[in-house]
Structures are given as structure tokens and as C-alpha cells.
């Protein structure tokens, strides 16, 4: 690790923090400033000037927007984003009960999808043009160009309706026994994996093929190295940067995918909580969930950036 890499990595980190700050301002502006008077919206038709003024006072709407933004941001940072408008319970508590479920779902999906996608992508690049490559790449294009809920619907039709292997909807997350755990996670994980593997595999394949076109690969081939050695020992180390980027991009896609999957399978996670919040226009809940997802997204993108900086041989041996 040399100083240049450290400097570039720190720059990325600083950039991510600034972006997060800008995003928080954007989220606040869209949800709390632009739609107009929140107190008026909450009271609706019954608003009298007195109740309106009282509620405004209570919600702190009488102070200017920058001050409200500052209060909101410091509340978020100290872990107290306020109470839900609908249930009147602290948003932090609502999230705390849902977050482990979502993280577990994401973790299982990542453990299954990433290795699978890398192996498929590298194999497709090695045997590009073969029947295997055509089937895998064609399947990936098909999966990418249909909505996630179609993939989920097909999974339900095949495994629950036709084969009767799994229940159609998972109403509770049960960790009591491995069998029950498998039953509640199989369908959501399978759907998410399908979509993620398709994305990641395409990008991995493209990254490896890009390297295989480089002149130094021709040199390695002329030297008489086996195809396996060409890809694994020579092309792959140089494709680590783009592949890390592809993985992170797809993981950030996971953040969008869980919104659909948690909803269709009734999975009790943060994303379905947020969708309910949006439907009921529960602003504190929506804001907090949005910031949580955006922070996770920026973290993933930054990690990918830093990995591709560290993996760049031209920077490593300077």
C-alpha cells in the first residue's frame, strides 16, 4: 500500500461523504419543503386556523427551512429520526425490528449470487461463442429485460403451484430449524439471485473479454499457455477492477430489487416498510428509510471505487 493509493482512497471517501450530505439535502427538500404545508396536509378539511397554528408549532414548521433541515439531520445522525405520523411510534424502533430481516435476506443473496455470477461470467468469457455462452448470455438478457415481479411470479408458478415444493408467500420469517429457514428464504432469495446473477454475469463476461482482446494475451497464447492459465493467471487479475465495479453496481441494484421482492412475497423487511410508508405518506418513515438506502448505496459505490483503485496495477507499482 503506497501513499498515492491511500490519498486516492481518502479522496473517494471524502467525496462519498459530501455526496451523502447533498443527497440528504435533496431528500429533505423533496419531502419536506416542496410539497407545501405538512400540517395543512395532515389536518385536511378539518383545519381551523387555531388547530393549524397549534400543529405547526408542534411540528416545528414555523422556523425557516434551513433550521428545520439542520434539526432533521442532527436527529438522523443521533439515531432519533422522530415519530411516525401514522402509528405514532418512534421510526427508529420500527426500523430496528425490520432491519435484521432485510440484512439477512441481502446477506444470503450475496453469498449465493456473487460466486455463481463470477463463475458463470468467467466461464462464458472463456468459451465465448459456444452453445454454453449463448444459452447463459441469452438467458441473462431475457432476465434483465423483464420486470422483477415477472421473475418472482414465474418462480411462484413453478415451485409453489406446479411442484408444490414451497409455500407461495412467506408470511413469517422463521429461523427455528434449517428446513423452515429454507422455506421462508428460498423464493425471495431465488428471485433476487436470478436478477442479480444476470446483471453481474453480463458485466463480468464483458470485463474478461475486454482483457482477452489485449495484446499481452496474444503474447501469452504464443508462449503456449493453456486456455485456463490465460484466463485465470493473466486476464483475471487485470479484470479485477471492472469486476469489482460490476459487483458493487449490482449490489446497489439489490437495494432496488428488495423493494419489489419484499412486497410480492410479504417479507417483513425495511423495503416493504418503506413502500407502506409511501402509500400512507408517512414522511418521517420515508425520509429515514430513503437515507438508509442511499447511505448503503453510496457505501457500495465507494467500496467499488476504492477496490478498483487498489486493484489497478499501474498505481500499485509506482
Partner 1 sequence: MTDTTIALPVKRRRPRGAFNALGLFSLAVLLFWLLAAVIGPTLIANTGSSMGEAPVFAPVSAVHWFGTDFLGRDMFARVVQGARYTVGVALSATLLASGSGTLLALLAAASGRWLDAVLSRAIDTLTSVPGKMFALIMVAAFGSSMPTLILTAAIIYLPGAYRIARSLAVNIDAMDYVTVARTRGEGRLYIMLREILPNIVGPMLADLGLRFVYVVLLLASLSFLGLGVQPPAADWGSLVRENIGALPTGGAAIIMPALSIASLTIAVNLLIDNLPGRSVRGAN
**Structure-block grid coordinates of residue 133:** 455462452
**Among 48, 88, 131, 162, which residue sits at the site for partner 1 (rule: CB under 8 A)?**
162
Q: Which is nearer to partner 1, 35 or 237 (CB)?
A: 35
- Nearest residue to 170 via CA among 162, 225, 229, 155: 155
From 27-35, 58-66, 89-97, 236-244, span contacting partner 1 (CB under 8 A): 27-35
**For helices 178-212 and 148-156, what crossing angle results, to 10°?**
130
Largest CA distance in the chain: 87
Applying the rule CB under 8 A, the residues between 267 and 306 that interact with partner 1 are 274-275, 277-279, 281, 283, 286, 290, 293-294, 297-298, 301
Residue with grid cell 464483458, as numbered in its chain: 206
The DSSP annotation for 280-315 comes to TT-HHHHHHHHHHHHHHHHHHHHHHHHHHHHT-HHH
Q: Which is nearer to partner 1, 67 or 144 (CB)?
A: 144
108 binds partner 1 (CB under 8 A): no
**Among 10, 168, 175, 232, which residue sits at the site for partner 1 (rule: CB under 8 A)?**
168
How far apart, in whole angstroms, are the C-alpha atoms of residue 290 and residue 279?
14
8 binds partner 1 (CB under 8 A): no
Tell me how many residues contact partner 1 (CB under 8 A). 46
**Structure-block grid coordinates of residue 49:** 386556523
Q: How far is the CB of 149 from partner 1 (least distance, A)?
A: 5
CB atoms within 10 A of CB 85: 19
From 48-56, 62-70, 252-260, 305-313, span contacting partner 1 (CB under 8 A): 252-260
How far apart, in whole angstroms, are the C-alpha atoms of residue 192 and residue 253?
10
How far apart, in whole angstroms, are the C-alpha atoms of residue 228 and residue 89?
58
How far apart, in whole angstroms, are the C-alpha atoms of residue 187 and residue 191?
6
135 binds partner 1 (CB under 8 A): no
How far apart, in whole angstroms, are the C-alpha atoms of residue 247 and residue 200?
6
26 binds partner 1 (CB under 8 A): yes
From 47-55, 116-124, 125-133, 149-157, span contacting partner 1 (CB under 8 A): 149-157
35 binds partner 1 (CB under 8 A): yes
Q: Which is nearer to partner 1, 231 or 274 (CB)?
A: 274
Q: Is the dihedral of CA 232, 236, 240, 242 positive or negative?
A: negative
Q: How far is the CB of 120 from partner 1 (least distance, A)?
A: 20
13 binds partner 1 (CB under 8 A): no
Q: How far is the CB of 161 from partner 1 (least distance, A)?
A: 4
Q: Any idea of the CA torsion for 100, 103, 104, 105, to the nearest 10 degrees?
A: 130
142 binds partner 1 (CB under 8 A): yes
Q: Which residues bind partner 1 (CB under 8 A)?
A: 19-20, 22-23, 26-27, 30-31, 34-35, 141-142, 145-150, 153, 156-157, 160-162, 168, 252, 255-256, 259-260, 263-264, 274-275, 277-279, 281, 283, 286, 290, 293-294, 297-298, 301
Amino acid at each position: 500500500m503506497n501513499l498515492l493509493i491511500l490519498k486516492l482512497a481518502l479522496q473517494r471517501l471524502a467525496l462519498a461523504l459530501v455526496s451523502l450530505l447533498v443527497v440528504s439535502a435533496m431528500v429533505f427538500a423533496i419531502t419536506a419543503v416542496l410539497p407545501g404545508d405538512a400540517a395543512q396536509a395532515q389536518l385536511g378539511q378539518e383545519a381551523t386556523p387555531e388547530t393549524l397554528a397549534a400543529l405547526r408549532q408542534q411540528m416545528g414548521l414555523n422556523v425557516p427551512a434551513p433550521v428545520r433541515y439542520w434539526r432533521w439531520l442532527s436527529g438522523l445522525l443521533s439515531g432519533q429520526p422522530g415519530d411516525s405520523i401514522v402509528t405514532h411510534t418512534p421510526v427508529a424502533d420500527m426500523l430496528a425490528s425490520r432491519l435484521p430481516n432485510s440484512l439477512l435476506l441481502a446477506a444470503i443473496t450475496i453469498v449465493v449470487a456473487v460466486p455463481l455470477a463470477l463463475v458463470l461470467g468467467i466461464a462464458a468469457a472463456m468459451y465465448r461463442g459456444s452453445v454454453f455462452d449463448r444459452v447463459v448470455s441469452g438467458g441473462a438478457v431475457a432476465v434483465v429485460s423483464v420486470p422483477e415481479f415477472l421473475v418472482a411470479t414465474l418462480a411462484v408458478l413453478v415451485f409453489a403451484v406446479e411442484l408444490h415444493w414451497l409455500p407461495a408467500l412467506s408470511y413469517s420469517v422463521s429461523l427455528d430449524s434449517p428446513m423452515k429457514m429454507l422455506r421462508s428464504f428460498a423464493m425471495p432469495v431465488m428471485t433476487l439471485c436470478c436478477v442479480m446473477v444476470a446483471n453481474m454475469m453480463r458485466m463480468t463476461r464483458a470485463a474478461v473479454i475486454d482483457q482477452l482482446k489485449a495484446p499481452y494475451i496474444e503474447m501469452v497464447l504464443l508462449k503456449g499457455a493453456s486456455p485456463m492459465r490465460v484466463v485465470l493467471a493473466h486476464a483475471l487479475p487485470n479484470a479485477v477492477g471492472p469486476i469489482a465495479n460490476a459487483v458493487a453496481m449490482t449490489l446497489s441494484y439489490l437495494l432496488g430489487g428488495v423493494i419489489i421482492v419484499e412486497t410480492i412475497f410479504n417479507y417483513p423487511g425495511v423495503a416493504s416498510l418503506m413502500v407502506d410508508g409511501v402509500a400512507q405518506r408517512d414522511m418521517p418513515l420515508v425520509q429515514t428509510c430513503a437515507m438508509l438506502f442511499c447511505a448503503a448505496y453510496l457505501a457500495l459505490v465507494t467500496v467499488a471505487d476504492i477496490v478498483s483503485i487498489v486493484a489497478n496495477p499501474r498505481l500499485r507499482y509506482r
